[in-house]
Amino acid sequence: MVEGNVVSQGLQTPAASTKGFFSWREFAWGALASGFGETLMHPVDTLKTRIQSGHSGVTLQKQSDIGHALKNIVAMDGVRALYRGVVPGLTGSMITGATYFGFIESTKDWLEHERPNLAGPWAHFCAGAMGDTIGSVVYVPCEVLKQRMQIQGSSKGWHQRHEVSSRVLTPSLQYYTGLLHAGRVVFKYEGFSGLYAGYLSTLARDVPFAGFQIMLYEGMRKATVYGRRNWAVAPAAGGPKHEFSSWEELIMGGTAGGLSAFLTTPMDVLKTRLQIQGSRIRYKGWFDAWHQIWRHEGVKGFFRGAVPRVLWFVPASAVSFMAVEWLRKEFNTQTTVHIDSQSVHPDDTLSSLSSQAQIDSIRVNPASKQKAFEP
């Protein structure tokens, strides 16, 4: 029989009992969820990239012309052009998703159990920023190859556009047949500097984006719980804690991603311009690109592609966060009960706790002050 003062620990959270600082599951869930979101929304990303590039045959006089721009791409290059660059995009997204979500969750668990005084919104911001920065080592070269393939469209459309153009193509901007061909050509003519073109601009965009996104997401989760406690119908005594539904995860993830995407659009424009220019230098660097865009295009130039960027991140972030939370609920292992040796009978059995179902049914009884477990 288990006595009130002999249970040393109840059912512990997985982070406290089975996970170290890093959990491979969180990295795996992040990779799968981000890869799914990237594949689903790649056509919108292609639309955004071709609008931002300024010389891919797609022009946008005002943000409401998104539908017209999409029709132009399909008319010039066909539907398949919308999926150009999907392989490097998928590769980069899976790597970054793994480090982003894995680092965030591992850091949150470590702070919660080892340094609770450091937990808070800015801890989430720093964890997200650090996870994304680590992934950028692989993500940036993949992003360069993806965007160069995106602006090319179909082989037929690409050659037609440049046969009538007075622009002389550089060797590194020849038509790419696939990921490996693009990588070999860019490395041959531009070296590592070509593969990592716009790296600082990428960090300037992704570090605040990653930080704001997770900070907003966690803030909305806490606000939802607070609202449930104070304004919703109180749960039954001893009832389970609030679990977010898939719809709630979708809305919170999409909102966080959309707001963060809009705020960081100027950095995205700078990054895109620097990464697609190739060895024919159009901008001498980050500050020169900023100056030229401001001088020739004004504020509107910095928000080119803002609508498709937001339209990409709202569903992509929504699906990614929902998928990660679903994978955690479904596949993260449950922990065992840690019980003091005094609570075990000489025959190594627990007479009052014969099954996991009985353990899960125990609740705290305030009246008798009898200690028990809370799952």
Domain boundary (301, 316, 332) is at 332
User: 118 with 202, same domain?
Assistant: yes
Domain shared by 203 and 157, yes or no: yes
d(CA 104, CA 126): 9
What pLDDT was estimated at residue 138?
92
Q: What is the mean pLDDT of the chain?
A: 75
Task: Verify that 374 and 280 share a domain, yes or no.
Answer: no
Say yes or no: 211 and 227 in one domain: yes
Q: pLDDT tens-digit profile of 299-332? A: 888 998 888 889 889 998 999 999 998 988 888 7
Burial of 224 (0-12, 13-18, 19+ CB in 10 A): middle
Range of the domain at 350: 1-18+340-375
User: Are residue 134 and residue 73 in the same domain, yes or no?
Assistant: yes
Is residue 258 very low, low, confident or very high in pLDDT (cuts 50, 70, 90)? very high
Domain count, the chain: 2
- Give the residue carrying structure tokens 């080592």: 137
Euclidean distance between CA atoms 363 and 236, whole angstroms: 12
pLDDT the model gives residue 233 = 54
pLDDT digits (tens, 9 = 90+) for 158-171: 666 666 444 445 66
Residues 227 and 375 in one domain: no
Sign for the pseudo-dihedral over CA of 21, 23, 24, 30? negative
259/375 same-domain check: no
